[in-house]
Amino acid sequence: GILLLVLDAPRRVPLTWAALCLLALAALAWAVTGDRSWLAPLDDLGRDAQQWAASIHWLESVLRVVEVALGTTAMWIYALVLVGVSLLRGHPRAAVFSVLVLASTPLINSSLKALLGRERPEWQNLLHFHSTMSFPSGHASQTTALAGVLSVLAALYLRRTNLRRLVHAVAV
């Protein structure tokens, strides 16, 4: 309706993709809250991948570095650096945008975990190391939020096309 008349064509494309991603998330959330017997093979792929990675000693160390680098504490450090750089460069709206997105992501994620209540696969939690639900992934949601913020800020503030493309490629 009226929204299509107001939006220019370039904005329709990303908004359409955003809506499709939201629908995909809703479909996946619906799938994990019901009978999950058909998801068991996907969970088993994760177990197989974990066993494969654990069998290669140097890879296990690399994956641990990645896990820490994309963990909650690291994400807050990245967010603070991003906000600080935005403020130092004279972009207070970018700083506020970054804080809003990166601070709301764990809140939304925790709410979705509580709402959906998908238990972790048994193989993943043998030592009861994790006390939270498994879906949606905190690491994935925080990393996606940071990548999204960086992409938006790159599109707004980077004038060099090659640098902007590099940020988008790394974010994806």
Token pair for residue 26? Answer: 């809703």
pLDDT tens column, 62-94:
878 887 887 778 888 988 898 999 999 998 888
High-pLDDT (> 70) share of the chain, %: 70
Residue pLDDT, tens place only, 133-156: 556 666 777 888 888 888 888 877
CA distance 94 to 149: 9
- Say yes or no to pLDDT of 7 above 50: no
For the record, the structure tokens of 97 come out as: 């945008």
Q: What is the pTM of this model?
A: 0.65
For residue 51, give Cα distances in angstroms to 2, 48, 127, 172: 53, 5, 15, 27
- Name every residue whose Cβ is closer than 8 Å to that of residue 130 and which is 6 or more positions away in sequence: 120, 124
Distance CA 139, CA 110 (A): 12
